[in-house]
Amino acid sequence: MTPTTLELLLPQWQGGNNPDYQIGNEILATIVPTNQHIERVEVPIATDSLPTQTTGIDGETTLLQQFQSTADILAVKHPQRIITLGGDCSVSETPFDYLNGQYDRFGVIWLDVHPDVSNATNSHHIHEMVLANLLDVGAPQFNQQVTNHLKSSHVMLAGLDYQALRPMDQAVNQLPLTYTTPEDLLDHPEMVTTWLKTNQIQHVAVHWDLDVLSPNDFRSIYPAEPHTNVADFPAAVGRMTLKQVFSLLAAIGQTSDLVGLSIAEHMPWDAINLRKGLATLPIFQ
């Protein structure tokens, strides 16, 4: 019998122009639980350096090709549920597009300290506009590639640092999108499940950017780079704990049918630095 859950290994790094996300994917693939009823498929990803930017979006041609490769795999496998292991945040685009086409009353929880709703006029990184593409307000070529656009009323941002929104993030207010802050979720974690019930979301996908977590609680994220000061990080820094997130994910799964889960932006600094150091030794060359 064909497995109904597909696990996509998607070490896509071009969306954030950071090859280290490939190592994050390798480590993540060894951490997640295994199950004989879950089929694992690796999406082929280009590993060479990005060409000089000419379109306004870093790696646009490569990313469009990789999104299409992902869509082709989903069209053949036709899963009921998708677990996506990133890679940068852009890995959710094609799986969520597919799932939105499979289910009525489908919604998305974007568990991220950042909203990822920029566009080609204010960013050149697709991982900063992946949700905008899904909402048809992102980069033109990527908007067009999405077949099943999300409704803003079927998206909730969870763990968002609203006070740290930048000009490039203002689609949060313009659309507008429902959001909860880390403090909201600490005091009233039921806000997410209440939103699911109120909007009659029967099937849900969760995008989990690991940097929604506090660097004090989880070290394998970008802001936790060794020998740097978190206060100097140039973007919002997460404030949630692993315990909070797993409690929230469990509650989501008890309220709606969890059909999609993406885990993105895993940055295991110790493994990254160890591999880079070992690669300089003659014995490995």
pLDDT in tens, 157-213: 999 999 999 999 999 999 999 999 999 999 999 999 999 999 999 999 999 999 999
pLDDT score, position 1: 46
- End-to-end Cα separation, the chain, in angstroms: 44
Contact at 8 Å (CB) between 263 and 84? yes
pLDDT in tens, 274-285: 999 999 999 999
pTM score over 0.85 = yes
The answer, yes or no, to whether the previous bond of 16 is cis (omega within 30 of 0) is no
- Name the CATH superfamily for 5-284: Ureohydrolase domain (3.40.800.10)
Question: Which residues, in sequence order, are bridge partners of residue 205?
Answer: 108, 260
Contact at 8 Å (CB) between 238 and 212? yes
Low-confidence ranges of the chain (pLDDT < 50): 1
Residue 251 burial class via C-beta count within 10 angstroms: exposed 0-12, middle 13-18, buried 19 and up: middle
- The strands making up 155-158's β-sheet, listed across from edge to edge, are 38-42, 5-9, 81-85, 257-264, 203-209, 106-111, 155-158, 178-180
User: How far is Cα 278 from Cα 285, in angstroms, rounded to an integer?
Assistant: 10
Phi, psi of 176 (to 5 degrees): -90, 170
